């Protein structure tokens, strides 16, 4: 017996000293997505950070981007092979970025080819002229290409503006383009037709409310006829923001009326989840207005936050811990797609996920070089297409997002971490694998000791790098 016990002890010590192989991928500014071999777990040690695999926080639905018209037109400049490879890298499960949830506009947004809605016929309360023909040229083939790689892709939608005749100013925009802006970027909105934050640009009358709710229903039905299921709706993108591109300001009270009496019942009848948003202000009271409204509140299944809305998400999560929260749009950069902004994007990702977000959406999937919108705003994208050479490149933020989205499976849970090293996120997948994403933001190598349960990893992180570790 003593001999057998000794053999068992020796074997246990040997296995413990060998450790488990840890998958490690590293990205620096000049060397993206490099597999690093040789890292193994060791016995528990004094650590810079401790991860408790049992201290589970919110469940993660997934990661994705937005299906914008200019995303598809830019990808359409490429060869069929290049375009299909990009779509495969973005959407195929387990291949690349592994996108599982994406956003789309209802009608035109700021990265559409130009303004359009599905019915621009003045006074068409029966929506006899409702058409999605424009989308059949861009958004629908874009989504179909993604669905070919991931048939289970979840899609939610929101409008940037209702049809112009449903707004008091009869225009898609809210603010007038400055005279200094080149003609091709102007919106030609008269200055006396401008709106402002804290007001309702949508006409607050029963006939308009009914028709607009029916407009959403027809959108859902039309897309279903194209074999695209819309899983959820948010009633208005950035309802506080008066913009030179498609936009529409609402008060929270105005949205509460629309949701509670019109849109909520319409979406419930179609079994479509209704979420509030998108919230681009750090004002929790705006969310409270909807959630605590006796009619509107019962229909709301979650809230989407973006831009300055990041200042409200943690408080809402604390007070409504069971409410689903999305980061609905990552801040968009300036079209330079540089490493500095990639580092900033990581701080956004950490903030939203640490504050309760269950899904994280990038904004522009693909743009032509320069990243210009129809209204002259330059923005970043995961992919940049060179119009002269008909070639493409993946930008830094593609690899950053992939560091999380490639490994973190739908149904994963964020894990609580403790210790002096805080520049990380940790998750446990449904298959019990542990995913740790870390940044070394210094210009020197840094060794970090990470303890997970009774095991430890001690990676030496490259200067200014992102790193993902998977312990299976």
Look at 21-30, 43-52, 337-346 and tell me which has the smallest mean pLDDT: 43-52
Check whether residue 349 and residue 441 sit in a common domain.
no
User: What local confidence, expressed as pLDDT, does residue 45 receive?
Assistant: 77
How far is 10 from 271, CA to CA, in rounded Å?
A: 60
Segment 125-160, tens digit of pLDDT: 999 999 999 999 999 999 999 999 999 999 999 999
Segment 386-423, tens digit of pLDDT: 999 999 999 999 999 999 999 999 999 999 999 999 99
Provide the domain limits for residue 389: 61-407
Q: Residue 197 carries which DSSP code?
A: T
How far is 412 from 29, CA to CA, in rounded Å?
A: 28
Check whether residue 356 and residue 342 sit in a common domain.
yes
Check whether residue 74 and residue 199 sit in a common domain.
yes
Check whether residue 355 and residue 273 sit in a common domain.
yes
Does residue 132 belong to any structural domain of this protein? yes
Q: Say yes or no to pLDDT of 4 above 80.
A: no
Length of the chain equals 472
Q: Say yes or no to pLDDT of 299 above 80.
A: yes
Check whether residue 353 and residue 430 sit in a common domain.
no
How far is 88 from 23, CA to CA, in rounded Å?
A: 22
Collect all residues with Cβ–Cβ distance below 8 Å to 287 and sequence separation of at least 6: 276, 279, 303, 312, 316
* Other CB atoms within 10 A of residue 384 CB: 22
Segment 268-282, tens digit of pLDDT: 999 999 999 999 999
If you average pLDDT over every residue of the chain, what do you get? 95
Span 109-114, average pLDDT:
98
| pLDDT band, very low/low/confident/very high, at 309 (cuts 50, 70, 90) | very high
Domain CATH for 426: 2.60.40.1180
* Other CB atoms within 10 A of residue 147 CB: 17
Check whether residue 50 and residue 126 sit in a common domain.
no
Which residue, among 193, 198, 161, has the nearest Cα to 177 in the 3D structure? 193
Check whether residue 449 and residue 402 sit in a common domain.
no
Collect all residues with Cβ–Cβ distance below 8 Å to 269 and sequence separation of at least 6: 217
Does residue 274 belong to any structural domain of this protein? yes
Does residue 4 belong to any structural domain of this protein? no
Check whether residue 330 and residue 248 sit in a common domain.
yes
Check whether residue 382 and residue 433 sit in a common domain.
no
Segment 328-378, tens digit of pLDDT: 999 999 999 999 999 999 999 999 999 999 999 999 999 999 999 999 999
Residues of the chain with pLDDT > 90: what percent? 94
User: What local confidence, expressed as pLDDT, does residue 18 receive?
Assistant: 59
Collect all residues with Cβ–Cβ distance below 8 Å to 4 and sequence separation of at least 6: none
Judged on CB neighbours under 10 Å (0-12, 13-18, 19+), 103 is: buried
Q: Say yes or no to pLDDT of 7 above 50.
A: no
Q: Where are the alpha helices (DSSP H) in 28-160?
A: 69-75, 80-91, 139-149
Structure tokens at 289: 């207005």
Span 218-234, average pLDDT:
98
Check whether residue 46 and residue 87 sit in a common domain.
no
Q: Residue 191 carries which DSSP code?
A: G
Does residue 8 belong to any structural domain of this protein? no
**305 three-state secondary structure:** strand
Collect all residues with Cβ–Cβ distance below 8 Å to 234 and sequence separation of at least 6: 156, 157, 158, 274, 275, 276, 277, 278, 304, 328
Does residue 15 belong to any structural domain of this protein? no
Q: Residue 178 carries which DSSP code?
A: P
User: What local confidence, expressed as pLDDT, does residue 12 receive?
Assistant: 43
| pLDDT band, very low/low/confident/very high, at 16 (cuts 50, 70, 90) | very low
Does residue 14 belong to any structural domain of this protein? no
Check whether residue 204 and residue 292 sit in a common domain.
yes
How far is 248 from 258, CA to CA, in rounded Å?
A: 14
Does residue 124 belong to any structural domain of this protein? yes
Segment 187-215, tens digit of pLDDT: 999 999 999 999 999 999 999 999 999 99
How far is 92 from 446, CA to CA, in rounded Å?
A: 34
Does residue 270 belong to any structural domain of this protein? yes
Check whether residue 300 and residue 434 sit in a common domain.
no
Last residue of a domain, one of 371, 391, 407: 407
Looking at the structure of the chain, the number of domains it has is 2
Collect all residues with Cβ–Cβ distance below 8 Å to 250 and sequence separation of at least 6: 200, 201, 202, 236, 239, 258
Span 160-172, average pLDDT:
98
Sign of the alpha-carbon torsion through 69, 73, 75, 79: positive
Q: Which residues of 337-359 are buried (b: 16+ CB within 10 A; e: fewer)?
A: bbbebbbebbebbbebbbbbbbb
């Amino acid at each position: 017996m003593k001999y057998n016990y000794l053999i068992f002890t020796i074997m246990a010590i040997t296995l413990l000293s060998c450790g488990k192989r840890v998958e490690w991928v590293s990205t620096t500014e000049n060397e993206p997505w490099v597999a690093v071999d040789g890292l193994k777990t060791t016995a528990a040690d004094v650590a810079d950070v401790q991860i408790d695999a049992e201290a589970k926080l919110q469940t993660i639905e997934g990661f994705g981007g937005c299906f914008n018209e200019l995303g598809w037109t830019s990808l359409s400049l490429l060869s069929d092979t290049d375009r299909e490879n990009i779509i495969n890298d973005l959407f195929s499960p387990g291949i690349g970025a592994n996108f599982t949830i994406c956003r789309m506009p209802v009608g035109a947004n700021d990265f559409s080819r130009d303004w359009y809605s599905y019915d621009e016929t003045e006074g068409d309360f029966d929506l006899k002229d409702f058409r999605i023909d424009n989308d059949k040229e861009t958004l629908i083939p874009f989504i179909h290409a993604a669905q070919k790689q991931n048939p289970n892709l979840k899609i939610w939608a929101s409008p940037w503006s209702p049809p112009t005749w449903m707004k008091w100013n009869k225009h898609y925009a809210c603010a007038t383009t400055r005279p200094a802006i080149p003609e091709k970027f102007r919106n030609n909105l008269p200055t006396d037709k401008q709106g402002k934050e804290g007001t309702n640009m949508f006409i607050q009358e029963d006939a308009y409310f009914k028709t607009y709710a029916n407009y959403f229903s027809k959108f859902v039905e039309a897309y279903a006829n194209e074999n695209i299921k819309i899983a959820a709706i948010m009633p208005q993108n950035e309802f506080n923001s008066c913009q030179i591109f498609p936009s529409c300001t609402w008060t929270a009270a105005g949205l509460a009326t629309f949701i509670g009496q019109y849109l909520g019942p319409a979406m419930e009848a179609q079994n479509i989840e209704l979420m509030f948003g998108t919230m681009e202000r750090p004002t929790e009271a705006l969310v409270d207005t909807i959630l605590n409204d006796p009619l509107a509140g019962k229909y709301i299944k979650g809230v989407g936050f973006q831009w300055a809305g990041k200042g409200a998400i943690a408080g809402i999560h604390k007070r409504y811990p069971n409410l689903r929260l999305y980061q609905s749009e990552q801040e968009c950069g300036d079209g330079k797609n540089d490493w500095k902004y990639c580092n900033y994007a990581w701080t956004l990702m950490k903030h939203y996920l640490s504050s309760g977000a269950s899904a994280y959406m990038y904004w522009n999937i693909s743009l032509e070089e320069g990243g210009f919108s129809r209204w002259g705003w330059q923005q970043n994208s995961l992919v940049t297409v060179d119009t002269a050479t008909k070639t493409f490149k993946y930008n830094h933020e593609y690899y950053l997002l992939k560091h999380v989205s490639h490994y973190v499976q739908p149904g994963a849970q964020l894990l609580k971490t403790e210790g002096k090293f805080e520049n990380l996120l940790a998750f446990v997948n449904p298959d019990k694998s542990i995913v740790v994403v870390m940044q070394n933001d210094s210009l020197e190598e840094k060794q970090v000791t990470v303890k997970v349960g009774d095991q430890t990893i001690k990676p030496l992180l490259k200067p200014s790098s992102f790193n993902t570790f998977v312990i299976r």
